[in-house]
Chains A and B, each alone.
Chain A
Amino acid sequence: QQQVKQSPQSLIVQKGGISIINCAYENTAFDYFPWYQQFPGKGPALLIAIRPDVSEKKEGRFTISFNKSAKQFSLHIMDSQPGDSATYFCAASDGGSQGNLIFGKGTKLSVKP
């Protein structure tokens, strides 16, 4: 049973546009929601993370929006650049009994110049 559902699978955005990736989770015990960015041949890199006590977190061009009641969270990449082309993974963890991360299936983002 997939505990974190991510959409879309792939996304094409023009340079300067906004990229939006969505995730939904099932386990209400999750209390940490990170996003990872992975380039080909590299390991995932922690991009930004949020906890459920806030509805939004912004770091540079990257923003996480969190909706606790809907059990959904999303990543917004403003002013998308060709260098942002990568695969993005959302994840969730409850930190305590299950300290491991549960990952979504990933979204391959291509930003066209």
Chain B
Amino acid sequence: KAGVTQTPRYLIKTRGQQVTLSCSPISGHRSVSWYQQTPGQGLQFLFEYFSETQRNKGNFPGRFSGRQFSNSRSEMNVSTLELGDSALYLCASSPYSISYEQYFGPGTRLTVT
């Protein structure tokens, strides 16, 4: 089975722009979660989707949003980028409605200049 894929792998944006990241979960997985990883804050939960519904949201500003499509693929969007948004954005998928076992993709490295 193919793993979680994320596109693009690397991205450079300018402050004030917006960005959309994409995640394709493992085939058959219906839960998708997004995490932000930075050296200072570590891995922090952004939000989780199951069957196209956001079930859980972390403590991030409204500039961070996401959605899930009927094929379980997910996108996250960050509007009005700030320098502090530079991070590795990780997507994880789970086969269960309760997301215990989560399998991560390689991440998208976002640099905001």
Which A residues are closer than 8 A to B by beta carbons?
32, 34, 36, 41-46, 49, 89, 91, 93, 95-96, 98-106
Contact = CB atoms under 8 A, between A and B. Distances in A.
A93 B99 contact: yes
Interface stretch (B64-72, B75-83, B101-109): B101-109
Contact of A100 (B90, B99, B105, B106): B99
B45 A102 contact: yes
B43 A44 contact: yes
Contacts of A96: 98
Interface of B: 4, 31, 33, 35, 42-45, 48, 55-56, 58, 90, 92, 98-107
A8 to B, nearest CB: 15
Nearest to A96: B98
Contact of A49 (B35, B56, B101, B104): B101
Given A44-B104, A100-B33, A95 B43 contact: no
Nearest to A51: B100
A101 B101 contact: no
A99 B35 CA distance: 13
A21 to B, nearest CB: 14
A102 B42 CA distance: 10
Contacts of A100: 33, 45, 48, 56, 58, 99
Contact of B43 (A41, A99, A103): A103
Nearest to A104: B42
Nearest to B6: A43
A45 to B, nearest CB: 7
A43 B104 contact: yes
A45 B104 CA distance: 6
Contacts of A49: 100-101
